[in-house]
Amino acid sequence: MQTEPKKSLVGEEYEVEVGPVAHGGHCIARTDEGQVLFVRHALPGERVIARVTDGEEGARFLRTDAVEILTPSKDRVEAPCPFSGPGKCGGCDWQHAAPGAQRRLKAEVITEQLSRLAGLTPEEARWDGTVEPAPGDKVPKGEVPAWRTRVQYAIDAEGHVGLRKHRSHDIQPVDHCLIAAPGVSELGIEKRDWPQIATVEAIAATGSNDRQVVLTPRPGGRLPIVELDKPVSVLRVHEKDGGIHRVHGRPFVRERAADRTWRVGNSGFWQVHPKAADLLVEAVMQGLMPKKGDMALDLYCGVGLFAGALADRVGEKGAVLGIESSKRAVEDARHNLQDLDRVRIEHGKVEQILPRTGISDVDLIVLDPPRAGAGRQTVAHLASLGARRIAYVACDPAALARDVKYFAGEGYVPRRMRAFDLFPVTHHVECVMILEKAAKGS
């Protein structure tokens, strides 16, 4: 017996009182009938008209946009970006919130995730409850910092430049992205058309003048001759294998952080905010307090940022093992740290490689997993190594909270936590949690 398809509610509107912020760049509201709404472009305490953008009758929740603000919050500002708002670019979540309010909203999300998933208050997490702005990012109300050193532009069928709309493949045409770093904006990506191209990723290195664009052609598309406003290297994503190949210029950019120059190849991972790498290294090293002769692990090590910082501190009698799943990142890490005999970089997944090393005890661990987190099995293995301190670097407070609960089950408790606003006007936030073995009897 076939069931009747449920009626779409897209386009329906509700007048609602906006409740607390939630993880994901929206707030929670309820209709008079009790239906849960996820409301973007709103702020807690506002009364708004919320229009459904996704959902059907009987759904657990409906996704909505605040299309009319009936009672504005004192934290509301006019969005500086003309491409921000309902139905427009999905890149920024909080253009309509004052800078201080954005950080408070992120702090509320972290607090809620720690409470719900780890059973911790901010005090128990050893966190002061604040989200720290990066140096230089404090801007007046109604302005946004230009921080994003890597921007992926979407190209429409006519070759015009844009950015993706929220939860959509649709493209919002743009002539400038306000949060793009100056090194990205100066390339002039938005000034020209890109026929037969699907995406253009622009990269502006920190600490060098290296600029790079990575082009993804449409199926069967040919690369255009790239003539931009500044010298730039060009890479392309291969249609058949998805690999990244050099067209001209260097296949890497040189980043500068922690008193070293880092080679990052083929659009590999590097922190997007220009101050992020140094800030995170400082937070991790202050929390771990490495000693000469320590044995340390840098897991999900990328191009070796934390491994290098650890190696400088553990000295010649110490040792650092890094593990990374990206083959190109491993090549870069080995190149970047080739002057340090005490560092070894292994290629593969942490959960597979670490057990094979035979390592049974370490002094320190840096853990910087992907957004999904490390998971129960990896946490259990790490706890068995008996490290006196573990630094967990997290780009997702939910994953952090889940893994911290796993660590608690293995006898590790928070010593200190800091949160950094390394993604202004978006909902993303970076946390550094220092864990240590609980005192016996506690």
Under a CB-based contact definition with an 8 Å cutoff, are residues 163 and 177 in contact? yes
Under a CB-based contact definition with an 8 Å cutoff, are residues 426 and 91 in contact? yes
Integer Rg of the chain from CA:
23
CA distance 286 to 269: 24
- Using a 10 angstrom Cβ sphere, with 0-12 exposed, 13-18 middle and 19 or more buried, the burial of residue 266 is buried
Known catalytic residues?
A: 395
CA distance 202 to 213: 5
Phi, psi of 415 (to 5 degrees): -105, -40
How many CB atoms neighbour CB 242 within 10 A?
A: 8
Residue with tokens 């991790």: 284
Of 30, 112, 65, 13, the C-alpha closest to 400 is 112
Residue with tokens 């999905």: 90
Under a CB-based contact definition with an 8 Å cutoff, are residues 18 and 48 in contact? yes
Under a CB-based contact definition with an 8 Å cutoff, are residues 419 and 106 in contact? yes
